Amino acid sequence: MGDTWDRNREEQVMRIHRNGCCGLVIDIQERLFPHMQQKEELLKNSLLLMEGIQILDIPVLVSEQYPKGLGKTIDPVKRALKGIDPIEKIAFSCCDEPLFSEHLGRSGFRTVIICGIEAHVCVLQTVIDLLATGYLPVVVSDCTDSRKRNDKIVALERMKTEGAVITTTESILFELTRKAGTTEFKTISRLIK
């Protein structure tokens, strides 16, 4: 199948294939999460996304922004991630944290499926930096949020304009699954219902 995405092609192939992907959960932390505009939807969809991509054997990276001040990843997300250690950062963009860049670079994955907060700060800056370094960020819109609704709307629009793929939880899970009739499809279908 080749690369998931080729930035040099005049017409970009945007079909997302799971063999070239990793997930990224950005800063869903104790002192940030309660202030999100649509926190219940964010949590429900993020947990669904995490479970779905793990069913599909897609590895996940997790970041925490200054955990001393903003707290750790919230418990439901920690449980869903099954012991994945977060990468601490103080820069807004995950790409400015050397440990994150090292992990991502070593992984060989070129497509990064993203959920997290805040859409207009850490998510946006990470997306822009991923694009600048040849990755394809796939932002799951119903798994991102900000304190203010307009900040999220504007951030998603900018990410799309910059070249990120914007999608939803259900859409990306079925795109990664590719066909009905498999055990993975049946498991993910049950999750979504």
Which one of the listed residues 21, 95, 115, 122 is annotated catalytic?
122
Q: Residue 45 and residue 138: Cα distance in Å, rounded?
A: 15
Cβ atoms of 115 and 26 closer than 8 Å: yes
The pair of three-digit structure tokens given for residue 50, joined into one six-digit string? 């995490």
Which one of the listed residues 21, 22, 27, 143 is annotated catalytic?
27
Q: Nearest 5°: phi and psi at 63?
A: -120, 155
CA-CA-CA-CA dihedral for 23, 28, 33, 36, to nearest 10: -40
Which one of the listed residues 21, 22, 89, 95 is annotated catalytic?
89
121: which residues sit within 8 A by CB, 6+ positions away? Answer: 92, 146
Q: Could you confirm whether 85 is annotated as catalytic?
A: no
The pair of three-digit structure tokens given for residue 22, joined into one six-digit string? 């990793």
Task: Report which residue type is found at 44.
Answer: K
Q: Could you confirm whether 96 is annotated as catalytic?
A: no
Question: Quick one: which of 85, 89, 99, 98 has its CA closest to 123?
Answer: 89
Q: Could you confirm whether 94 is annotated as catalytic?
A: no
Cβ atoms of 143 and 170 closer than 8 Å: no
Active site residues: 27, 89, 122
